[in-house]
Each structure stands twice: as C-alpha cells, then as structure tokens.
Amino acid sequence: MGDGILDFNWKLFAQRVYQKAKSVDIFVNAMSLVYTTLLSLVPLLIFSFYIMTLFNIFGGMERIINALKGIILENLATGTGEIVIRYLENYVTNVDITQLGVISFFSLVIVIVFMLARIEMTFNKIWGVEEHRDIFKRFVAFWTFVTLGTFLITLSLSLTISVISSYLSSDLIEVSTGNTYIFRFISVVSYFLIFIVGYYLIPNTDVEPLAAIVGGSISGFLFNLAKTLYKVYTKYAVGYSQIYGSLSVIPLFLVWLYLVWMITLLGAVICYVFQNRSNLHHFNTLQDITIGIQNIIPIAILVVICKEFMDRKSTGITFEGLANKINIPVEIIEDNIKGLMAENLITITKENRYIPITTLQRISLWEICELLLFKQEVSVKEIFADEEVCGVYASLKDELRKRLKGLTITDLLDEGC
C-alpha cells in the first residue's frame, strides 16, 4: 500500500486539481456562497442552538451550549476580535424561536434550506451533476441534516462530558483546563468530520468514502492552518483599521468567510479528482474535446457496450469498465449514457451492468445518428433562414442516411472496429 502511494503521480494529481478548480471557477462560486452565508447565517445559528436546548438529557446543557457557542462563533468570526462575535451572539440569544409566528418560523426554515440548496448546486457543478434533488427531497434531506446533525453533536458531547466527569469524580465543565482541552479537541475533530460528511452526502451522486475522507482531511488541515495564520495577520496588520476605522471588522469578517468557502470548494475539487484518479492522464474538459469527437462519443459508448455484451456472454459492462475503455471525464460518459437509455438503446441490469436493449443486428448506425446527432428541438428552417443552406443540410443528411442505413453495430465489430 505504501508503494502504491509513493508510485502515485502526485504532480499530475495537483495539476488536475488546479485545472478542475479553474474550470468550475471556485473563486466566483466562493464569493456567491459568502453572500448566501450572510443571508442565512443568523437563522441557521438560531435554529441550531434552539435544537440543542431541546436535548438536555444528561443535565448541564446550558454550560455545554455556552461553551459550544463560543467555539462556533469564534470560528465564524476568526480574526475579527470580539465585535462580530458579540453581534452574532446578541442576534442569536435575543430571538426566542418559540415566540415566532408560523410565517416567521417557515421563513427561517426556507432561508436555511436555500443556503444548503445553494451549497448542493455548487457541489453538483464540481461533480458535473446536472440533475439536482427535487424540492421535497431537498427539504427533507436538509431538514434532517440540520436537526439530526445538531442532535447527534449535542448527544455525543453530553455523553462524553457525563462519562468523563463521572470517572474523574468532578464536574469537568467546571475545570478550566479540562474545558479548554476537551472543547479544543472536539472543535478540531469536528472540522474534519463536517468536511468529510459534507463531501460524501451533499453531491447528488455516488461519492467514494475514501475520496470524501481525503478531501475532508485536506480541507480540515487547511482550515486549521488558515485560522491560525489569519489570526496572526489580523493581529499585526493595521491596514484595515486605518482605512475603515471601527468598521474594519466587516471586511475582515467577509474575507474570512471567503477563505472558508475557498477551502471548502477546493476540498470538493480534490475529492472529485481523487475519485477519478484512474483517469488522470485523460482528464479533459468538454471544451478540450472537438465537436467531431463529441458527436461520436455516444456511438463509441454503444460499440463498447455491445462488444462487451458479445464477448462476455450477456454479463454486460460496469460503469468503471466503460470509463477505463473511453478516456474522457466520467460526467461526459454519464450524460451520454442517460441519452442512450432515454432512447431505449441500452439498459442497466440489477448487477449495475450496461447491456444493449435490442438485438445488435437491429441497431442501425443511421438510427443512432438520427436519434443522437440530428435530433432537433426546432425545425431546420428556423435555424437556417437561407433556403439554399437548408438544401445543403438536407443533401448531406440524405447522403449520410444512404451510407449508414444498412450498416449495424455488428457489421462494425465484424470488420474489427
């Protein structure tokens, strides 16, 4: 295993991470998420802290919550001193969620769901997933994430404090050194867990646990490093305070949020590239592939599926096997597979293997081209205003029909294609 790690082309891996981060423009997306965070940060904190107060199972929850508040608010407002922390704490503690009306409560929930949905859309963009969760599934998933996640954190923390305190025969919360070390440890571990769980669950696609662990671990490390360095910078840099005066905490807070989202999105990119590490040498974007190759990709996928179906006696081919034979980004393969399945040319078995849906002798190359290449949502006359151009298009299409109509996938395979 050690040899495998040493033999891994880390230089190429870093290059692909840079290319992917640039192609999805994580800098712009991080700015967008900063704006979304500003709108939904206070509602999320209000709701999360309220849920914590509902689970006073082992007692002493008020002190635990106060300690957690300090950790959470400090990490959100790193480098901004006490001002932003005090403002956030005032907003959170002065709102009694039980006194809110129905409309205000659901407005609070909608803002939280909106933020999580925006995060999901950004992650899906990194993973090349065009299909997002529908509104109902998104609401249920995010509601569960916020409520159950907060409950589990509170429960685990309560159990830890209760058990350790009983063994030490003292109230651990009252011991300042214990309070410091335990909450620091929980704080650091939680960074890694939040990133790992987020990378695994948020994208609307299957993510390898190992890829989520790698991306989450790197993000957790970068977050801790950035937090330390940013504290040092804001302590000794006086530029912002000289320019903005008492308002200097605002740009400092915004810059910190931007750094957090940059680290988060970079970790998601690392997670994506690591999952596709076997395809690093052919890690191109769709823009790097010519139009001619793009048009022939669905035919190439169909040929590989049919060939595998013939060679392996009806067992079909897995997605991983298909990706190893066609060296293009996996999201492009996924999109073309969806198109082939929508046209009833292939299907997937219970064993997650792709097979042709009809006899190979009946799959005409012209039918494939007509379905996948010449299928238009609008008529040709609406595209080409010149009648002569329409005539040229019709002639080319007719000539192609004559050449391909009698040709099947089997004919190509028999000729050695």
* pLDDT for res 37: 84
Domain count, the chain: 2
Asked whether residue 1 is assigned to any structural domain, the reply reads no
Secondary structure of 380-415 as H, E, C letters: HHHHCCCHHHHHHHHHHHHHHHHHHCCCEHHHHHHC
What's the angle, vertex CA 218, arms to CA 213 and CA 219, rounded to 5? 100
Average pLDDT, the chain: 73
* pLDDT for res 271: 94
Structure confidence at residue 176 as a pLDDT band (50, 70, 90): very low
Both 275 and 290 in one domain: the answer is no
SS3 179: helix
Q: Which residue would you say has higher pLDDT here, 38 or 284?
A: 38
Segment 278-290 shows an average pLDDT of 62
What does residue 348 show for φ and ψ, rounded to 5 degrees?
-120, 135
Structure confidence at residue 6 as a pLDDT band (50, 70, 90): very low
Q: Which residues span the domain enclosing 369?
A: 286-414
Q: Dump pLDDT digits (tens) for 215-274.
A: 999 999 998 888 888 777 766 665 656 666 666 667 777 888 899 899 999 999 999 989
Both 255 and 307 in one domain: the answer is no
Segment 41-59 shows an average pLDDT of 66
Burial (Cβ within 10 Å: 0-12, 13-18, ≥19) of residue 319: middle
Both 259 and 394 in one domain: the answer is no
Structure confidence at residue 177 as a pLDDT band (50, 70, 90): very low
* Residue 42 to residue 32: CA distance in whole angstroms: 17
First to last CA, the chain: 38
* Residue 335 to residue 320: CA distance in whole angstroms: 15
* Residue 321 to residue 24: CA distance in whole angstroms: 27
Q: Dump pLDDT digits (tens) for 107-117.
A: 777 777 788 88
Lowest-pLDDT range of 140-144, 237-241, 369-373, 377-381: 237-241
Residue 363 has pLDDT above 60, yes or no: yes
Among 248, 279, 310, residue at a domain's last position? 279
Residue 61 has pLDDT above 60, yes or no: no
Residue 178 has pLDDT above 50, yes or no: no
* Sequence-ordered list of residues with C-beta below 8 angstroms from that of 40, at least 6 positions apart, any chain: 111, 112, 114, 115
Lowest-pLDDT range of 93-97, 159-163, 234-238, 375-379: 159-163
Both 295 and 189 in one domain: the answer is no
Both 23 and 161 in one domain: the answer is yes
Burial string for 255-271 (b: 16+ CB within 10 Å, else e) reads bbbbbbbbbbbbbbbbb
What's the angle, vertex CA 142, arms to CA 139 and CA 147, rounded to 5? 115
Q: What is the dihedral of CA 361, 365, 366, 368, to 10 degrees?
A: 100
Q: Which residue would you say has higher pLDDT here, 302 or 327?
A: 302
Segment 309-338 shows an average pLDDT of 78
Q: Which residue would you say has higher pLDDT here, 15 or 63?
A: 15
Lowest-pLDDT range of 50-64, 219-233, 238-252, 342-356: 50-64
Both 273 and 300 in one domain: the answer is no
| The token pair that represents 164 in the structure block | 């350790």
Both 247 and 391 in one domain: the answer is no
High-pLDDT (> 70) share of the chain, %: 62
Asked whether residue 75 is assigned to any structural domain, the reply reads yes
Asked whether residue 2 is assigned to any structural domain, the reply reads no
The stretches of 25-134 forming alpha helices (DSSP H) are 26-53, 61-76, 81-93, 102-127
Among 254, 279, 304, residue at a domain's last position? 279
* Residue 343 to residue 339: CA distance in whole angstroms: 6
Structure confidence at residue 386 as a pLDDT band (50, 70, 90): confident
**Which of the listed ranges 30-44, 202-216, 236-250 does the model predict with the highest average pLDDT?**
202-216
Q: Dump pLDDT digits (tens) for 106-152.
A: 777 777 778 888 888 899 888 877 777 777 777 776 666 666 666 66
| The token pair that represents 399 in the structure block | 């000539």
From residue 398, give the alpha-carbon distance in Å to each of 371, 376, 395: 15, 16, 5
Residues forming a β-bridge with 408: 364
Segment 20-39 shows an average pLDDT of 88
* Residue 269 to residue 216: CA distance in whole angstroms: 11
* Residue 126 to residue 366: CA distance in whole angstroms: 35
